[in-house]
């Protein structure tokens, strides 16, 4: 090595006063010259070095904000809540595309075959329920162990995620209902859906959320599908005032139960 960085340039470089070719030349030199590297290192202010490394760590280690997290933050949700809620698997693109595919099949069936609209009325209410079931649970949620071990109310996380995934999947179902040929059928799934969601959250007090959602969806859909295969008037039953009023009563009852649940009240205070 035949030359070393002049002392005045070392000082200027250390405090960030050099730029362009000079700074690049010094950087290339200190990578191969141990003596100049030690000289520059001794001149760099400790505070500046720490701030540079902190910026590098933030850029490298901090996870990129997902679209769901950005939307939730824009709607006013706290950043810490938005980060946890956006981790719900059923808010990921793959889940939403799967739900959209189910609804697209139901819409296609309603336009192409006898009884297809009835199939839409059966499937549309359980799509948000299945989305809720995929929002939290062992084996489904990659952040499950972390969330269980963290000082964050599990019930609060379940409720926030459920609200978010219901909004996302509900929009998909509403859009799909616009393409159902019978206009009167389009909104008939809403009250059953509300009832199923409320019951799912109640059952989740005693069972894992995925199990509760799958059980509630199966209890609703399987008998109706069996009746549809048997050529019974399932649509007439679902559209009847008695079924709609019953769904509303179940939704209200389940909501009142949740509203008076001590665990839920504690969760909404955010801290355990």
- Give residue-wise pLDDT tens across range 92-119: 877 888 888 888 888 887 777 666 678 8
In-domain check, residue 32: yes
Q: Quick one: pLDDT at residue 199?
A: 92
In-domain check, residue 2: no
Domain check: are 111 and 185 in the same one? yes
Average pLDDT rounded to a whole number, residues 50-72: 68
Which of 20, 46, 61 is the C-terminal boundary of a domain?
61
Domain check: are 142 and 21 in the same one? no
Domain check: are 171 and 201 in the same one? yes
Q: What percent of the chain has pLDDT over 90?
A: 8
In-domain check, residue 16: yes
Domain check: are 43 and 72 in the same one? no
Q: How far apart are CA 165 and CA 160, in angstroms?
A: 9
Whether the CB-CB separation of 133 and 212 falls below 8 Å is answered with: yes
Which of 42, 61, 80 is the C-terminal boundary of a domain?
61
Q: How confident is the model at residue 161 (pLDDT cuts 50, 70, 90)?
A: confident
Closest by CA position to 228, among listed 111, 128, 84, 116: 116
CA-based angle 88:92:97, to the nearest 5?
Answer: 135
Q: Quick one: pLDDT at residue 152?
A: 66
| Best mean pLDDT range from 37-46, 111-120, 127-136, 155-164 | 127-136
Domain check: are 93 and 111 in the same one? yes
Domain check: are 86 and 193 in the same one? yes
In-domain check, residue 1: no
Domain span at residue 49? 7-61
Domain check: are 36 and 103 in the same one? no
Domain check: are 111 and 22 in the same one? no
| Of 75-79, 119-123, 175-179, 199-203, the least confident | 75-79
Q: How many domains is the chain partitioned into structurally?
A: 2
Domain check: are 151 and 227 in the same one? yes
Domain check: are 71 and 13 in the same one? no
In-domain check, residue 75: yes
Domain check: are 38 and 168 in the same one? no
Q: How far apart are CA 38 and CA 15, in angstroms?
A: 15
């Amino acid at each position: 090595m035949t030359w070393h960085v002049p002392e005045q340039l070392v000082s200027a470089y250390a405090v960030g006063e050099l730029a362009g070719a000079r700074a690049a030349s010094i950087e290339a030199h200190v990578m191969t010259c141990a003596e100049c590297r030690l000289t520059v290192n001794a001149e760099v202010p400790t505070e500046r070095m720490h701030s540079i490394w902190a910026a590098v760590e933030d850029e490298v280690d901090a996870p990129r904000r997902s679209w769901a997290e950005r939307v939730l933050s824009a709607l006013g949700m706290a950043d810490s809540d938005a980060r946890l809620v956006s981790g719900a698997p059923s808010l990921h693109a793959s889940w939403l595309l799967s739900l959209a595919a189910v609804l697209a099949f139901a819409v296609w069936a309603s336009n192409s075959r006898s009884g297809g609209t009835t199939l839409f009325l059966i499937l549309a209410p359980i799509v948000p329920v299945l989305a809720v079931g995929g929002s939290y649970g062992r084996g489904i949620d990659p952040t499950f162990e972390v969330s269980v071990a963290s000082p964050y109310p599990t019930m609060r996380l379940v409720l926030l995620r459920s609200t978010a995934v219901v909004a996302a999947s509900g929009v998909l179902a509403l859009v799909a209902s616009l393409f159902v040929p019978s206009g009167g059928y389009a909104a008939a799934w809403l009250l059953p859906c509300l009832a199923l969601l409320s019951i799912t959250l109640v059952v989740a007090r005693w069972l894992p959320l995925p199990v509760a959602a799958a059980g509630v969806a199966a209890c609703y859909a399987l008998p109706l599908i069996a009746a549809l295969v048997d050529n019974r008037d399932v649509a007439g039953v679902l559209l009847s005032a008695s079924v709609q009023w019953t769904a509303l009563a179940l939704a209200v009852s389940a909501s009142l139960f949740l509203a008076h649940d001590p665990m839920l009240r504690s969760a909404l205070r955010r801290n355990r």
